[in-house]
Amino acid sequence: MSAIPLSVGTRIEERRVEGRGVLVGYLPVGFPDLATSIDAAVALVENGVDAIELGLPYSDPVMDGIAIQQATQAALAAGFRIRDVFTAVEAVRSRVDAPVLVMTYWNPVVQYGADRFADQLRDAGGAGLITPDITPDSAADWIATSDRTGLDRVFLAAPSSTDERLKLTVENSRGFVYAVSTMGITGARADVAASARTLIDRLTAAGAENTCVGIGISRGDQVAEVLEYADGAIVGSALVTALAERGVAGVAATAAELATGLRPGASIPQAH
């Protein structure tokens, strides 16, 4: 397969026509090493995940829980470099037909050069960026750059956001709006906060076409619950933990279990 950019919005619409939502899987680039992180990302798609979110390891991951922090710190210690993200995106896109977003704090992009980063991401076949630590009103450079390159830009919305803030987020997001299910850092939780459903209702009222819920989702039944009211469910910590403890096979098995929530009762491909 060629590394032609594929918008995550396109994949969401395809699944909507099929009558279901999407499952987005997060893994950090370079953990436990670059080659394995690529294999693990491919395994996600081979076992039911619709879109990939590749994390760019960063030295000050303020939003990340312990599982992701440990993985990204290990990747940095092993010699991760920003250019490895483009290598990973291109490699994944050459093997599976799924959109690949990069989740990154903004400082590494600025240090690398936003235009240079965007051009290389587009050329590698990447869909765009999820930027957890910048808001639309402070992202003029990124908005201009993503408009020039056609990349998706996914901003975050929280339950604490005002209606005015949500409207601004909706108007400036492309691909989907990332609805943070609860306040706090990432990590698997027993229950996805009820505030997520309310937040999705508010985002829809603000004009959002595509919404995905992240933070706290770790099981197939939680995926099914979220997809009752949102277009997508995002899973990170559970997959990172599976990779840390059981390698690529563990990621494949966890992805297959999560994918049971896409169509409850349906047959899902077994882990490779």
Residues involved in catalysis: 53, 64
Instruction: Provide the 10 A C-beta neighbour count for residue 84.
Output: 19
Among residues 106, 36, 117, 26, the alpha carbon closest in space to that of 78 is found at: 36
**53: helix, strand or coil:** strand
**54: helix, strand or coil:** strand
Whether 48 contacts 255, CB under 8 Å = yes
Question: How far apart are the C-alpha atoms of 243 and 240, rounded to whole Å?
Answer: 5
- Which residue type occupies 42? V
Question: Tokens 């750059």 label which residue?
Answer: 145
Q: Is the peptide bond before 136 cis (omega within 30 degrees of 0)?
A: no
Strand order in the sheet with 232-235: 152-154, 128-130, 100-103, 51-55, 22-28, 232-235, 211-214, 177-180, 156-157
CA distance from start to end of the chain: 20
**31: helix, strand or coil:** coil
